[in-house]
Structure 1
Amino acid sequence: MKTLISGGTVVSLDPSIGDLARGDVLVDNGLITEVAAHIDAPDAEVIDACDRIVMPGFVDNHRHAWQTAFRGIGSDWTFPQWAAAMHGTVKAHYTPEDVYIGTLLGRLEALHSGVTTMLDWYHVAQTHEHEDAAIDALTDAPGRSVFCLGAGWGGGDSVDDDIRRVRARLSGGGRIDLALGMRGPGATGIDTAAREVKLADELGLRISLHIEAPGVITALHEHGLLRDTLTGVHANGIGEDELRLLADAGGSLSISPDVELKMGFGAPMTGVALAAGLRPTLSIDDVPSVGGDMFSTMRTAFAAQRGIDGGLRSRDLLDFATVDAAASMGLRDRTGSLTPGKDADIVLLRTDDVTIFPVTDPAASIVSHGHPGLVDTVLAAGRVVKRDGALVGVDLPALRTRLLASRDRIAEAAGVPLDGTWRPQP
């Protein structure tokens, strides 16, 4: 089945193709086969992209989707308050159904805003049934997902059995990959960190690690545990020399600028990472505290760094949220740009909406004026999963009812008020 996306403003993020003021994208059997000013494909289904920007889908390499039911509750929280609330209070009351519906709505939210690839950093560890519920949710949502399995919040218990069990479940291929959510030597000690890296090496898994203090990268380096498969998350306040160790190992860094600024982590590390030789990538983190779309994330990262040195350009932010994030997940050859041979993960943004019209510079317009309301059409591996502004084949009213029931049940069990007055005590 061929699909021709015709007559849009193409922002390919592939330097060999560039931008096309008027261009076509041909999709065949889930793959991009051609990008050109005009393509003749009489046997293809046509998607009219007039008054649309055609761009690659966003890639979010760090989101905790299980928390979706508590969207907005932590808007005023610091990080210690968030940890006390989500890990110290409500997590114990999550059933597998709660994990499923939160993860499903979180993944659908991401897709709705143009995120075609998402890493779900799962740290609501309780039972195998909870893990399976998260995987079921990612399977039931369209798009490519990576299930990043960790052992919860700190602790030194082994993750070997859980990782191997889930790996066996996902071994048949498909749209769900597995990554290892590493806790790090600060939480578990260097011996446990070494076991987790060894396990990831053995199974060929990517590693994601929250870096919350100086010395973590140095300790991994000194013990030979840095890898090109490792993505550090946050790393606020880490020095350029230490970040260079991660860069020299071929690793990557995921920045969550909205969470980092609001929760008091410190300034996002965009400029320091670039100086250290890292291509920063962008992620949402958690929606109890911040919005779940990549547009606002790009804008915050852009403004925060421009306020320091003025060096970034709009296209840098698009790269961070697409091609660079794809590379950090080992998907450089699969997604992140409109390149022939890659999966057809494609987003069409309205350019006739009053909030973005007129579009003079497409890249600048996406970063400075984009928002989820502009996401008109989304293709995931060639499949149309959003059309005319609405997700395809999704019963949102029924899912919303389930999510509210989940939130209310957990809140009652945990004694949590839902009137905006809750200030958790760390």
Structure 2
Amino acid sequence: MRTLITADHVLAHDGSGHVELRDGAVLVVDGRIAAVGSADELASEWAGEVDEHVALGESLLMPGLIDLDALADIDHLILDSWSDAPESARLEWSAAYFADGRHDVLDPAERSTMRRYALTQLALHGITSLMPIASEVHSAWAETHDDLADVARIASELGLRAFLGPSYRSGVHVAGDDGAVSVAWDDEEGRRGFAEALRFLDTVAALDDPLITGVLAPCRVETVREELLAATARESAARGVLVRVHALQGLDERALIMADRGTTPMGLLDRVGLLNDRTIIAHAVYLDLHSEVDGEDRGDLAALAAAGVSIIHCPLTNNRYAFLLERLSRYLDAGVNVSLGTDSFPPDLIRGIDAGVQLAKQQHGDLSRGLLAEYVEAATLGGARALHRPDLGRIAPGATADLVAFALDDLRLGPVEDPLRTLVLTGTGRDAHFSMVGGRVVMRDGAIPGVDVDALRREGQRIFEKLRAAYRERDYRAAPAAAGAGAAGELFPPVFPVASTRVPRMTT
């Protein structure tokens, strides 16, 4: 199959870095990029020899976006990042809920629909490669082999490239009646989850699907027993698989690890053998240099860089939860590989890039810092390096044809100055209108073939409402379930009070 794709702007790779081609073209042959160059020249050279010509017009064609902390549920962040009450806190299981009987809020069919909803959202926002993250708060524990087998099936049907492994943990954050948070342990669940994760690796190997790669995905580092983290490192080395772990993400994490294990989160990762180039750390915010830790660089960045560890920066989530990675340029200058993640709703890396650039400029107090190029490279080349996939993240001959195009012809975008600056300053991921993974078209004209988005939206809203209502029995601040629907309303107050009676008619 030969496909010629032309666009007014193409973000190509010249062997040393990204470059912009005006009136560019990309020739895709059997899933790989065969040629990149002038639209006129390639169209003339291959006249009559291509099976399809995709003319994108006033668009930016660039490498497919790589999201390594990709939203795979519906309610992540929407419900617990808005309250301005002094006593507000993250939604947590109550200690009583942990002790009295956990259960899945959704049935298997609803969980599958939720995943299809989430992966469709990723595709519609221009994501072509993903490593998903889902909240476990609405599950009986963490993810299972069958959960991720379902994600693999959906990703393959949609045509997305997915790096998958079920989450596993030995403990969970719970809050007592006073709101104090601790970790409640269930070691049998931890061992069972790890066994499920290893079984999933075997399942992926048997699938032999080029779009699906197995990884190990332990939960937040403070909720996984040290022996399980060490076993994760051993299996990663033996099987040559990647590990993504959430670490260095909060001061509470740091305090728990120092109290329980006598070391810092970095020290723990080193001790269990997870400081190596197969490890990808989600967030990596609270290093020694952070102003709320030591406030100076005492070697954490150098240790990450020397080990070849990659990090996943999630600017939108960091901003909304107010745990801020300080000055991304310091990580890059130290040689740390940085990739990007969405981690929460909306799964929009364009908005994430914009948030990251703005934050970096504010932190530096210098408009010349927080370069847009650094963030675009993190969403493409940085993700590819983290995945050990040099064939991804670039438009160059020999690379895999994972591509996305963003429309630049909407009046609301304003005049096109530089295609990337225009997209990030005034656009969003919703401007994606074409994508291709491994040479297969995933999205065309802003639609994904075979997906009924209206039905998916309606069912997604129903599932969201069910998840929201279930917090009445799980969160430590909620009244008992017998209190009825009002309890959920107290957990999630509206921006303005909802009128209990009809608003009186107002006249002049």
Same fold flag (TM > 0.5): yes
1:261 is displaced (CA, Å) by 2.0
Query: Match of 2:215, SS?
Result: strand
Asked if the contact 1:182–1:208 (Cα under 8 Å) also holds between the matched residues in 2, the reply is: yes
Mapping of 1:255-270 within 5 angstroms? 255-268=313-326, 270=328
Find the counterpart in structure 2 of residue 72 from structure 1. 78
1:341 Cα shift?
A: 1.4
Q: Please state if 1:254 is matched with 2:275.
A: no
1:173 maps to a residue whose letter is D
Contact 1:27 1:33 in 2 (8 A): yes
Query: Could you report, residue by residue, the CA deviation over 1:337-391 in whole angstroms, capped at 9, with x for unpaired residues?
Result: 1111122111122122123342222232233233133212111211222112222
* SS of equivalent to 1:312: coil
Aligned partner (choices 190, 193, 197) of residue 163 of structure 1:
197
User: Which amino acid is 2:361 matched to?
Assistant: R
Which deviates further from its counterpart, 379-388 or 271-280?
271-280
Q: How far apart, CA to CA, are the structure 1 residues paired with 2:314 and 2:77? A: 17
Partner of 2:208: 173
Secondary structure at the counterpart of residue 390 of structure 1: coil
What is the aligned counterpart of 2:410 among 311, 332, 353? 353
In the alignment, does 2:94 pair up with 1:94? no
Corresponding residue for residue 451 of structure 2: 394
Partner of 2:270: 221
Q: Does 1:106 align with 2:114?
A: no
1:422 aligns with 2:503: no
Q: Are the equivalent residues in 1 in contact too, given 2:124–2:430 (CA < 8 A)?
A: no
Distance 1:203 1:359, change over 3 A: same
Matched, 1:308 2:363: yes
> Alpha carbons of 1:222 and 1:266: their partners in 2 closer, same or farther (altered >3 Å)?
same
**Measured at CA, do residues 91 and 46 of structure 1 come closer, stay the same or move farther in structure 2, by a change above 3 Å?**
farther
Tell me how far 1:52 sits from its aligned partner: 1.3
The SS at the match of 1:391 is coil
Aligned to 2:9: 9
Q: Counterpart in 1 of 2:482?
A: none
User: Equivalents in 1 of 2:450, 2:124: separation in Å?
Assistant: 13
Please list the CA deviations of residues 82-127 of structure 1 after superposition, one character each: whole Å capped at 9, or x if unmatched.
4449xx7997313322321121111111111111011013563255
Does residue 135 (structure 1) correspond to residue 152 (structure 2)? The answer is yes
**Structure 1 position 371 matched with structure 2 position 420:** no
- Mapped pair 1:116 → 2:128: yes
The one-letter code of the counterpart of 2:430 is G
Distance 1:304 1:15, change over 3 A: farther
Residue-pair matches, total: 417
8 Å CA contact 2:148, 2:164 repeated in 1: no
Retained in 1: the 8 A contact 2:69–2:133? yes
* d(CA) in 1 for partners of 2:422, 2:15: 19
Alpha-carbon RMSD? 2.8
Deviation at residue 184 of structure 1 after TM alignment: 6.3
Q: Deviations over 1:24-74 (max 9, x none)?
A: 1001111111101131222211111221111111100012413x1567333
Does structure 2 retain, via aligned residues, the 8 Å contact 1:69–1:102? no
The 3 A distance-change label for structure 1 pair 65 and 7 is: closer
Q: Distance in 2 between matches of 1:345 and 1:201?
A: 28
Which residue of 137, 144, 147 corresponds with 2:161? Answer: 144
d(CA) in 2 for partners of 1:394 and 1:219? 44
User: Closer, same or farther in 2 for the Cα pair 1:113/1:71, shift >3 Å?
Assistant: same
Partner residue in 2 for 1:190: 226
Cα gap change, 1:22/1:64 in structure 2, threshold over 3 Å: closer, same or farther? Answer: closer
Q: Is the 8 A contact 1:122 1:147 kept in 2?
A: no
Q: Does 1:383 align with 2:440?
A: yes
How high is the sequence identity, in percent, across the aligned residues? 22
- 1:194 CA displacement: 0.7
- Counterparts of 2:220 and 2:408 in 1: how far apart (Å)? 44
Cα 1:185–1:383 shift into 2, 3 Å: closer
Q: Unpaired runs of 5+ in structure 1?
A: none
Matches within 5 A, 1:267-286: 267-268=325-326, 270-286=328-344
AA in 1 matched with 2:110: D
Contact 1:256-1:283 at 8 Å conserved across structures: yes
Q: Post-superposition shift, 1:189?
A: 3.8
Bigger-Rg structure (1/2): 2
Q: Post-superposition shift, 1:136? A: 3.0
**2:241 alignment partner AA:** L
Q: Is the Cα–Cα contact under 8 Å of residues 61 and 406 in structure 2 kept in the other structure?
A: yes
Q: Does 1:327 align with 2:385?
A: yes
Q: Deviations over 1:169-219 (max 9, x none)?
A: 211321111111124663334322111111122222111111134521223
Give the equivalent residue in structure 2 for 1:41: 46
The answer to whether the 8 A contact 2:221-2:246 is kept is no
CA contact (8 A) 1:218 1:242 kept: no
Structure 2 unmatched runs, 5+:
137-141, 173-184, 255-263, 289-296, 474-484, 494-508
| 1:207 match | 243
